[in-house]
Structure 1
Amino acid sequence: MPIIRLMLVFLVFKSVLSGVYGNNSNSENDSKVLQMLIDCGGSVTSLRNELQDMKDKLERLRSEAATDTYIRWGRSSCPSGATTVYDGFAAGSYYTHSGAAANHICLSKKPKFNYHYSNPYKSSYIYGAEYQTYESIWNNLHNHDVPCAVCHIPRSSVIMIPGTDDCPENFKEEYRGYLMSGHHSHTAATEFVCVDGHPVTAPYSSKTDKDGTMFYFVRAKCGSLKCLPYEEGKQITCAVCSYSP
């Protein structure tokens, strides 16, 4: 307890004692009161230190318990600070199938099959993904297969932010890139995914046009989407961010 505050409290206590005992408060009583205040000050400091230790321990436990995963599209490894759970092939439904599943998935490179159910009478199908980036900044990737990696991080609340490649305050950037999806004229529904801004091709990829599920850049279309701030035809950026206060 700071000395000035201690003296002020002491004077208040002395005033109270004078009111109770009149002017009979002597130096011995003053010393006892002052010692009591000093002891209280030490106890408060001790309690405050213990409280801070408890807060620090809780924060460490919270940090250790807060984990999450995300898919890094367009790369076969995870960024610094993240652990690669597995890497694989980006995949989805064929672009003209009307009964297609809408989501993209990251297929393992090490498949394991149960031969007991190897040939069902009816089934759905999964296809690999190709970059459809002809005459763009990624022209060299056109028709190449898309890789992916599942990443584990010691942070929580992973979000994909479309429209910007910056993360908000208290969020850490996992990676940044461009929003991609299937073509608007194709039959099959797809989802929007954030493809890394420095993409690579999948292992064993060839530049053969085999179709499957396709990754196209997403561009702004003015109308119900306000321009400004958006601009017609501009490629939409994105960022994958994790909560890191």
Structure 2
Amino acid sequence: MIPASHTCPDYWALEYAGYLFAAHYSHKKTNWICIDQHAESLSSSTSSQSYLYPTEVECGSISCSRTYGGYIQDKEMTCAVCRPNNDRFSTVYTHWGKNQCKSSTRQLYSGFAAGGYYNHAGSGANTLCLPSEVTFAEHTGTSQDGALLYGYEYYTSGYGLTSSSYQQVHLKEVPCSVCENINSFTSLTVYGKFRCPAGYNIDYHGYVFSSSNSDKKGQYVCVDNQAESYPNSQGSMWHHSMSTVYWESRNSVHTMYQAV
């Protein structure tokens, strides 16, 4: 699923386009999911105690301007579900903390990390990689305050990571790249190690990041050990922060199983 888009990358075909939905920001968290723009209902559906709401952009945490990706306050977020348009096999993964994919992979898109506000009980728990250029469709243009989407920033100072790479990105926006590895059967992230299992090749290694233990629930992600900031990061602009998780083993590695 590609958030903030109604189209697919080159060599990929559109399965369906829709809108990003999650729980109301004041309810309990769900995952962000892509609901078809031609949504249907079950014929036997009755009233429910679980609801999904369209997702709106929150500027300030996401830099909103025509020259900065085109994100606009309170507009409803689009999404696209895509598939490879031929019979090749490949794996797709998100490279957290980097503006570009490795040269050995194909970059589908790059952008920045986003999710729910750190102190909101609801919206989505999973971390999204938003593309640097947004595509909007139908929208109200006014605040409806259903599910709310905020940008992520690093919070590394004082949390055990002393390398200059991590200290230089403190309070800066978190970049991400969505990468395709051709002729790879599967991929996985290994937590607590810097090495790959037998038969796998390392793609990158780093440290496990998530929300603080005092914040609302977030997703664990492996951030590259040579972390970068998103271009033109202002620092302390964004309202949602990522901080290192409080575990003894914080190493992680993203690996690929390659065809022989």
Cα pair 2:192 2:249 within 8 Å, conserved: no
1:110-154 Cα shifts (integer Å, max 9, x gaps): 101124444463421111110000134222211000000000001
TM-score when scaled to structure 2?
0.60
**What amino acid is the match of 1:170?**
G
Query: For the residues of structure 2 that align with 1:65 and 1:239, how far apart are their CA atoms?
Result: 26
Cα pair 1:217 1:235 within 8 Å, conserved: no
Quote the offset at 1:80 in angstroms: 3.0
Q: Percent identity?
A: 29
- Check 1:100–1:116 CA distance in 2 against 1; reply closer, same or farther (3 A cut): closer
**What amino acid is the match of 2:253?**
A
Q: Does 1:86 align with 2:109?
A: yes
Q: Does 1:169 align with 2:198?
A: yes
Which residue, 90, 95, 103 being the options, matches 1:67? Answer: 90
TM-score when scaled to structure 1?
0.64
- Check 1:132–1:70 CA distance in 2 against 1; reply closer, same or farther (3 A cut): same
Matches within 5 A, 1:54-203: 65-119=88-142, 121-135=144-158, 136-137=161-162, 138-154=166-182, 155-186=184-215, 188-203=216-231
Cα pair 2:213 2:246 within 8 Å, conserved: no
Cα pair 2:213 2:245 within 8 Å, conserved: no
Segment drifting more, 89-98 vs 110-119: 110-119
Report which of the two has the higher share of strand. 2
- Who is 1:53 aligned against? none
The count of residues paired between Structure 1 and Structure 2 equals: 167
Query: For the residues of structure 1 that align with 2:245 and 2:255, how far apart are their CA atoms?
Result: 20
1:212-245 Cα shifts (integer Å, max 9, x gaps): 1x2212232xxxxxxxxxxxxx451101111125
Query: For the residues of structure 2 that align with 1:218 and 1:122, how far apart are their CA atoms?
Result: 29
Structure 2: stretches of 5+ with no match in the other structure: 1-86
**RMSD of Structure 2 on Structure 1 (CA):** 1.7
Structure 1: stretches of 5+ with no match in the other structure: 1-63, 221-233
Quote the offset at 1:201 in angstroms: 0.4
Segment drifting more, 71-80 vs 203-212: 203-212
Cα pair 1:73 1:193 within 8 Å, conserved: yes
Cα pair 1:218 1:235 within 8 Å, conserved: no
Query: For the residues of structure 1 that align with 2:110 and 2:141, how far apart are their CA atoms?
Result: 24
Cα pair 1:159 1:241 within 8 Å, conserved: yes
Cα pair 1:88 1:148 within 8 Å, conserved: yes
